[in-house]
Amino acid sequence: MPDVFEELKRSVYACLETYSNVHRGSGHHSMVSTRLFEQARAVVLQYLGLAAGSHDVVFCSPGAAEAYLAQLEPGDSQCLSSADLGLPLGVRALVIRRQALSRLTLFKAGGGTARLVGFGWVVWARAPGRFEAGTPAIVNVIAFARALQLARRHGKDCFREAWNDAASGQILHGGSPESLGGGELLASLKASRIGLGLCVPTAKGMSPLVNLDNAASTPTFAPVWEAVWRTWQLEPSARPVLVREAAVVVAGFLNASPSTYDVLFTANTTEAIHLAAENLCLQASDGFELVVLNTILEHNSNELPWRGLAGASQVQLDVDAEGFIDLARLEAELAAYNQEARHGTKRIRLVAVSGASNVLGSFNDLAAICQAAHRHGAHVLVDAAQLVAHRRVDMEACGIDYLAFSAHKAYAPFGSGALVARKSLLAFDPGRLQQIRTSGEENVGGLAGMAKALQLLQRIGLDLVQEEEQVLTALALAGMAKVPGLRVRGIADASSPRFAQRGGVIAFELKGSLSYKLAGELAERAGIGSRWGCHCAHMLIKRLLQVPPWAQQIQRAIVIVLPKLELPGIARVSFGLGNDPADVEILVKVLGQIAKEGRVRRKELPKRMKEFEEQAVQRVFGER
């Protein structure tokens, strides 16, 4: 019998070589990952012998699949599970008749589920993406689709027959340079980045891709992939040990004592925040109306769940131009609701804030926010999606009550995330808690990858990570300041007294250039992967671009009538462990060229980029 795991390994490795987040990224890798993700839908339909015109495929976690299936009538859908193939991927593919899909009710909002957001209204994304809340398990979905191809050829049990009984305890404690730490480990990891040196078509020929899109999702390193890969092959009886070990690693990384906090594994940050929202509704109200306070800084994943929370209202704090909360204003709002009762029976029970902005790169003072909230009887949830891979987080010392994050922004893009919550605040009944655990823990490979990545970050040292990223950010800001017509949003000068509170996310505009054209030009000229648009932070982008309410309503109408039309936004680059000063030099040089020359039309390049996509699809899904 052929080694199906080796065939799967080759395909997934090829996927990881060109990995990035899907949709609205301008870099070659984002375009390839988007193409592979959509091809996975086609593979699922082919596996079932169904036509694309009659059915759609929604990829989701086991828990989300149960919720959606409960809304559908018998015969409206089929559900394919990675567990049925014996693979611990945590993927469900819901194949739904198009007529039934139009009747499906969205029950989780955030991330890519919204096309445009305004005060009091949302234009939802088109199906099936509307029902895939948060960043999907992109790599796992592609792996599952490839596994379906192999199962069709070799039999549904082909992966079960290839399981091994290797010791699970060795997966998180071996297979990497265990003797290294600090800068030596960082250098070793940089050299092991999957996809390193891979060339992409540009205006000057084939060039190595410059990945400056780390805030959207991060590539992975060989030791992380090795941990995931070995976990996929484990006998089921060996997997629970890894789940327990992963929980210990997460708790230790965040200094969340197991006696005080519980770790609930999820598919991504969005799912984790929705769990926190569900839990909040289960807590005793004491006769008061629930209010959630968050900020205009938030990603949709930490804004839309609170907006749609039944029986609750939402208050949004403004931030300054550099992305920082006015702590005095926060204190005043908390006092007005919770002590002075200026709003009747309404009480702020939760302050939900981003640990780091995915647009302005600002790191707000979480300890001060927690102190203010606790003084007034409120708890604090931190959306740490942009935080955990860039700064040390100490939940105990800060007093954080809930923390949500995704591993795909921490060098483990295998569909896992977590909600870390105070045990005393969890109000789920035992049955519901078991459902939550069962859903999140099925993706054992993703949990192993998350734990391995966090271990490596801890051994490097988050202080060193911060130092490295700040050096790159300072270089970039200095260079970008010399580009005519370029405006950086947020802290734009490394000599600012608040620069230490700025991360390696840089949002910017270039006079006379729309964000999607600017990002496209970066990709075409030098293979620079970046991102453009509203970055799922619509409320903040509207404020930054000073879009008045009447213009927002016009945008809303236009998007409904012309959903493919690109609206104004902001371009963004973001640094990670794989970057170095040479990447910054390329970025600044190319921005200067664009400012001088404008956009250049290149007749042959789009064709070559399309061929690059097709070759990538063939490497992953082509039958050998």
Question: Which range (107-111, 186-190, 220-224, 462-466) has the least confidence?
Answer: 107-111
On average, the pLDDT of the chain sits at: 94
pLDDT digits (tens, 9 = 90+) for 495-538: 999 999 999 999 999 999 999 999 999 999 999 999 999 999 99
Return all residues near 603 (Cβ < 8 A) that are at least 6 apart: none
* Residues 576 and 211: beta-carbon distance below 8 Å: yes
Rounded to two decimals, the pTM is 0.96
Over residues 297-315, the pLDDT tens digits come to 999 999 999 998 888 999 9
- What the block records as the tokens of 466 is 């911060």
What stretch(es) of the chain map to CATH 3.40.640.10? 4-165
C-alpha–C-alpha distance, residues 105 and 108, integer Å:
9
Residue 457: which of 507, 503, 390, 511 has the closest Cα?
390
What pLDDT is attached to residue 25? 76
pLDDT at 560: 87
Decide: 317 and 378 in contact? Cβ < 8 Å.
Answer: no
Cβ pair 358, 537 in contact under 8 A: yes
Structure confidence by residue, pLDDT tens digits, 75-90:
999 999 999 999 999 9
CA distance 375 to 350: 12
Report pLDDT digits (tens) over 414-431: 999 999 999 999 999 999
pLDDT reported for residue 574? 98
Predicted confidence band at 561 (pLDDT cuts at 50, 70, 90)?
confident
The whole-angstrom separation of Cα 337 and Cα 344 is 8
pLDDT at 2 over 70: no
pLDDT at 464: 98
pLDDT reported for residue 252: 98
- Residue 314's SS3 state is strand
For residue 174, what pLDDT is reported? 67
What pLDDT is stored for residue 208 in this prediction?
95
Q: Does domain 208-218+461-609 have CATH number 3.90.1150.10?
A: yes
Rounded to whole angstroms, the Cα distance separating 63 from 419 reads 15
Q: How far is CA 38 from CA 11, 113, 128, in A?
A: 16, 16, 10
- Helix, strand, or coil here: 336? helix
Instruction: Outline which parts of the chain fall under CATH 3.90.1150.10.
Output: 208-218+461-609
Task: Determine the pLDDT at residue 479.
Answer: 98
Using one digit for the tens of pLDDT, what is the confidence trace for 309-343? 888 999 999 999 999 999 999 999 999 999 999 99
**Mean pLDDT within 120-125:** 89
For residue 599, the model assigns a pLDDT of 81
Residue 1 confidence (pLDDT): 43
| Predicted pLDDT at 264 | 98
* Protein fold of 4-165: Aspartate Aminotransferase; domain 2 (3.40.640)
Q: pLDDT category, 139, cuts 50, 70, 90?
A: very high
**How many angstroms separate the CA atoms of 138 and 143, rounded?**
9
Q: Which residue, 297, 253, 272, is CA-closest to 465? A: 253
Judge residue 365's burial from the number of C-beta atoms within 10 Å of its C-beta, 0-12 exposed, 13-18 middle, 19 or more buried. Answer: middle
Q: What is the pLDDT of residue 109?
A: 86
Please report which confidence band the pLDDT of residue 458 belongs to, taking 50, 70 and 90 as the band edges. Answer: very high
The answer, yes or no, to whether residue 284 has pLDDT greater than 80, is: no
CA distance 383 to 279: 16
Please tell me the predicted confidence (pLDDT) of residue 534.
Answer: 92
Distance CA 311, CA 93 (A): 32
pLDDT band (50, 70, 90) for residue 108: confident
Q: Which of 566, 590, 584, 583 is nearest to 515 (CA)?
A: 566
> Over 70: is that where the pLDDT of 176 sits?
no
| Integer CA distances (angstroms), 308 to 66, 102, 277, in order | 20, 20, 10
Q: What is the pLDDT of residues 262-278, one digit of tens each?
A: 999 999 999 999 999 99
Please say if the pLDDT value at position 624 is more than 60: no
- Region 470-494: what's the mean pLDDT? 98
Q: What share of the chain in percent tops pLDDT 90?
A: 84
Q: How many CA atoms lie within 13 A of 284 on its CB side?
A: 2
Residues 359 and 295 sit within 8 Å (Cβ to Cβ)? no
**Nearest 10 degrees: CA dihedral of 442, 6, 172, 80?**
-10
Asked whether the beta carbons of 319 and 354 are under 8 A apart, the reply is: no
What 243-247 contacts at long range (C-beta under 8 Å, 24+ apart), as own/partner pairs, is 243/441, 243/444, 243/447, 245/168, 245/169, 245/172, 245/451, 246/172, 246/447, 246/448, 246/450, 246/451
The residue among 441 and 2 whose pLDDT is bigger is 441
pLDDT given for residue 175 in this prediction:
60
